[in-house]
């Protein structure tokens, strides 16, 4: 079970008991915001994109959308999401619980989008469709082994 892998992963940081497991689903940004009692933008969604040999993860704010032009400029790739089967193969967590922790394939790189930096704390999933952990952006960077902060999203006020 993915959440067990994530709990085990967080033991090294003494944070395994900080994982929140609400009764209701947190599989989407809206459901997670309701389950945790926070605004949807503070949900840190983890998106998985294909690369030639594997994939990358981009963690964004819940209200952010990938800007295809920025994404292509940054990564020299078209923003093409993984299939559910590929998500399991590379990440090891099912859709609805995808997170940047305890990733199955050690070659997967994690990037955090600057859309998250608006908040003191954010809530990424923890490997299941009803889990999360409250982290600062600095903690997210550390625990996810973030390769780099990127600007590949657009926020609601800039979306056309």
Pick 159 or 155 by higher pLDDT: 155
**Residue 160 placed within a domain:** no
Structural domain that includes position 28: 2-152
Give the pLDDT score at 1.
Answer: 59
Residue 86 within a domain:
yes
Q: Kindly report, residue by residue over 71-104, the tens digit of the pLDDT.
A: 999 999 999 999 999 999 999 999 999 999 999 9
Flag whether 26 is in a domain: yes
Task: Specify the number of domains making up the chain.
Answer: 1
Three state DSSP letters for 101-144? CCCCCCCCEEEEEHHHHHCCCEEECCCCCCCECCECHHHHHHHH
pLDDT of res. 157: 77
Query: Tell me, what's the pLDDT at 158?
Result: 58
Mean per-residue pLDDT, 53-70: 96
Mean pLDDT of 19-44: 96
CATH number where 26 lies: 3.90.960.10
What number of helices (H) and strands (E) belong to the chain? 5, 7
Q: Domain for residue 158, yes or no?
A: no
């Amino acid at each position: 079970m993915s959440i067990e892998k994530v709990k085990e992963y967080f033991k090294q940081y003494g944070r395994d008991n900080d994982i929140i497991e609400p009764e209701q689903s947190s599989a989407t940004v809206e459901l997670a915001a309701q389950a945790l009692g926070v605004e949807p933008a503070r949900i840190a969604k983890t998106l998985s994109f294909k690369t030639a040999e594997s994939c990358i993860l981009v963690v964004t704010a819940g209200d952010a959308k990938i800007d295809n032009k920025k994404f292509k400029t940054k990564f020299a790739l078209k923003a093409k999401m993984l299939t559910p089967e590929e998500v399991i193969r590379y990440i090891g967590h099912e859709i609805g619980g995808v997170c940047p922790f305890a990733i199955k394939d050690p070659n997967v790189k994690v990037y955090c989008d600057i859309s998250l930096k608006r908040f003191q704390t954010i809530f990424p999933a923890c490997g299941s469709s009803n889990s999360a952990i409250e982290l600062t952006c600095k903690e997210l960077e550390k625990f996810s082994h973030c390769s780099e902060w990127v600007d590949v999203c657009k926020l609601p006020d800039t979306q056309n």
